[in-house]
A and B are shown apart, each in its own frame.
Chain A
Amino acid sequence: MNPKIANKIADAVIYILVAVVVIILALLIGFILITGVPHISWHFLTSVSQAFAAGGGIRDQLFNSIYLLILTLIISFPIALGSGIYLAEYAPKNWFTNLIQTAIEVLSSLPSIIVGLFCYLLFVIKLQLGFSILSGAIALTFFNLPLLTRNIQESLESVPDLQREAGASLGLSRWKTITGIIFPIAIPGIITGIILSAGRVFGEAAALIYTAGESAPVINYGDFNPFNTASFLNPMRPAETLAVHIWKVNTEGVTPDASAISSGSSAVLIIVILIFNLGAHYIGKRLYAKMTASK
């Protein structure tokens, strides 16, 4: 075939394929927002969900998702920070470091259902934590750790060595250099990573079905004692999140307005995750400009 004609055909094919992808995405987002947004109302966001009747809201599910996210970050961030520092600053180039890297890769590629089942086995049954927010947060920690560790490691590694040399020439210990000089420079990148991982944690459901459970008991938002069973802060209560709620009403639920609830909840999820994504870019840029001398 004439190469010039072949070139034209190939171009056309590529343009068509790209157009198809763009159309698919437009359809997806359009469908979620057009069918979902009309269902979002103050009533929908602030009323209790109904198991058998129509007109239920997502108040508890929304709160559970946020609470679970915060607990997960509290557990996973310190571990990820320590490991990230080790990998970026201390790790020698040997078989042990290779082993660690491989272990982290394995952890990040484990299907989330496997992580969920493992946590069900160990924490829900063996350690008798039951279906609880705490079990859910631990499961999500497994899910979140490799992403966050990798992100912190990369953020720390992207700091120029000049800064480390400056710290060493001042007679500071390496640890002091890391915590006092390197870490603050890396903060914008780390914050961006945290927000992006928060988006993924927020939408995760497979790991939560058997750890945080599928039920949302009535909770009292006026009770600030985390040791009371009815308190909204109690980490030992079962807690259905928004993503699990969408799954449940579509597969196991008998709610008559399942499609309205799931389209509304999907739209809420997408909007929250969009905010996370845009926020990550914005905050990352702002922080970088603020904490370093560059513009």
Chain B
Amino acid sequence: MDQIKAKLMKPSRETKQETVGKIISYTCIVAIMLLVLLVLYFIISFGMSTFTTNHVNLWSFLSGTNWNPSQLDAHGNPEVGALPMIVTSFAVTVLSALVATPFAIAVALFMTIIAPKHGKGFLQSIIELLVGIPSVVYGYIGLTLVVPFIRGIYGGTGFGILSGTIVLFVMVLPTITSMTVDSLKAVPRYYLEASLALGATRWQTIYKVILRAATPGILTAIIFGMARAFGEALAVQMVIGNATLMPKSLLTPAATLTSQLTTGIGNTVMGSLPNNALWSLALILLLMSLVFNIAVKFVGSKGDLNK
């Protein structure tokens, strides 16, 4: 009797299995959480050291236009003005998203509404292919095709925001397109049918019904594209010219946050001001990537069709 009782009171083999399994999967998820926290902690603490250890004024860092961290200016303060990089980063991001969006929406409309039969398979594989091309290859093509082309038309070096925009346009196009396709597909089919039944033309239906209903999804797609453009390093670095000057036009060499990081980190000494200033640029990048995340959440929660 006691034996049976003991057996009944003890956890079964299945319970033990379950515990082991739970522990394993729980450990993994906690590991990922820790990784994210580690990244945030390290980048933030190193990025802040410019302001805490080197006592650089935050405002002068964000608004200064001279980037020359190893030298002092007339007032004896180090020249760490990040504004040129910030402006250039935003310029290439916004411009490439602006150019890419009409193309992305056109391709998405073509794939979902205008010619779903021919469009889908062929364009789908094109988009997948564009996503798969590594960013260095885009950079290399930018360097050998786009830069000489711009140089031929406008003169100058060919390096600059315009070349960066063209390269990024091709890179963000597939991101925006595939997400726009998803949001167009999420619009209920009876919206389309109801509008057509009322006698609206296809364009009226698209413009007044489909695109309106899909707006939050399309906005999310554009934000994702912008996040990709903002964080892209090597392709931009290869065509932007890497001159830390305030961009005067789209054709003069400039530098983005990412390109400055790529070229600078290897040439500075750990813990010195020039190095800390670069980590501060990385911090700006990180914060912007968080901002894009929050924006996606915000836009996404605003326009849920199934609410």
Query: Is A bound to B?
Result: yes
What is the interface of chain A, defined by CB distance below 8 A to chain B?
Answer: 3-4, 6-7, 9-11, 13-15, 17-18, 20-22, 24-25, 28-29, 31-32, 78-83, 85-87, 89-90, 99-100, 102-107, 109-115, 117-118, 120-122, 125, 142, 145-146, 149, 171-176, 178-179, 199-200, 202-206, 209-210, 243-244, 246-247, 250-251, 259, 262-263, 266, 269-270, 273-274, 276-277
**Distance to closest chain A CB from B113 (angstroms):** 9
Residue B186, interface by CB 8 Å? no
Residues of B within 8 A of A117 (CB): 43, 261, 265, 279, 282
B14 pairs with A100, CB closer than 8 A: no
Residues of A within 8 A of B24 (CB): 82
What is the interface of chain B, defined by CB distance below 8 A to chain A?
Answer: 14-15, 17-18, 20-22, 24-29, 31-33, 35-39, 42-43, 46, 102-103, 106-107, 109-110, 114, 119, 123, 126, 128-130, 132-137, 139-141, 143-145, 170, 173, 200-204, 206-207, 224, 227, 230-234, 237-238, 258, 261-262, 265-266, 270, 279, 282, 285-286, 289-290, 292-293
A173 pairs with B15, CB closer than 8 A: yes
B137 pairs with A142, CB closer than 8 A: no
A269 pairs with B20, CB closer than 8 A: no
- Say yes or no: A106-B46 contact (C-beta < 8 A), given A111-B230, A246-B136: no
Closest chain B residue to A125, Cβ basis: B270
B144 pairs with A174, CB closer than 8 A: no
- What is the interface of chain B mostly: helix, strand, loop, or mixed? helix
**Distance to closest chain A CB from B20 (angstroms):** 7
CA distance A14 to B234 in the complex (A): 32
B136 pairs with A29, CB closer than 8 A: no
Residues of B within 8 A of A100 (CB): 29, 32-33
A79 pairs with B22, CB closer than 8 A: no
Q: Give me 21 A-to-B residue pairs in the complex whose CB atoms sit less than 8 angstroms apart, sorted by A's number.
A: A6-B201, A7-B202, A13-B106, A14-B114, A31-B145, A86-B29, A100-B33, A103-B33, A106-B293, A107-B39, A111-B285, A113-B285, A114-B39, A114-B289, A117-B282, A142-B39, A174-B21, A175-B17, A178-B21, A203-B137, A206-B233
Closest chain B residue to A262, Cβ basis: B140
Q: Can you name 15 extra interface pairs (CB under 8 A) apart from A11-B203, A114-B289, A210-B266?
A: A10-B203, A18-B106, A18-B110, A79-B31, A83-B31, A100-B33, A106-B293, A117-B261, A120-B265, A146-B32, A203-B133, A204-B134, A243-B136, A247-B139, A250-B139
Most buried by A among B106, B144, B270: B106
CA distance A210 to B144 in the complex (A): 25
Residues of A within 8 A of B206 (CB): 10
Residues of B within 8 A of A3 (CB): 200-201, 203-204
Residues of A within 8 A of B170 (CB): 24, 28
B234 pairs with A206, CB closer than 8 A: yes
- Say yes or no: A251-B238 contact (C-beta < 8 A), given A105-B293, A114-B285, A178-B21: yes
- Say yes or no: A114-B17 contact (C-beta < 8 A), given A17-B107, A105-B293, A203-B133: no
A114 pairs with B114, CB closer than 8 A: no
CA distance A176 to B202 in the complex (A): 53
B231 pairs with A110, CB closer than 8 A: yes
CA distance A222 to B137 in the complex (A): 32
Residues of A within 8 A of B285 (CB): 111, 113-114
Residues of B within 8 A of A7 (CB): 201-204
A277 pairs with B261, CB closer than 8 A: no
B140 pairs with A250, CB closer than 8 A: yes
Residues of B within 8 A of A251 (CB): 237-238
Closest chain B residue to A24, Cβ basis: B170
Residues of A within 8 A of B129 (CB): 25, 29, 274, 277
CA distance A99 to B38 in the complex (A): 15
B233 pairs with A113, CB closer than 8 A: yes
B106 pairs with A273, CB closer than 8 A: no
Residues of A within 8 A of B266 (CB): 209-210
CA distance A174 to B123 in the complex (A): 42
CA distance A188 to B54 in the complex (A): 54
A118 pairs with B39, CB closer than 8 A: yes
**Distance to closest chain A CB from B48 (angstroms):** 14
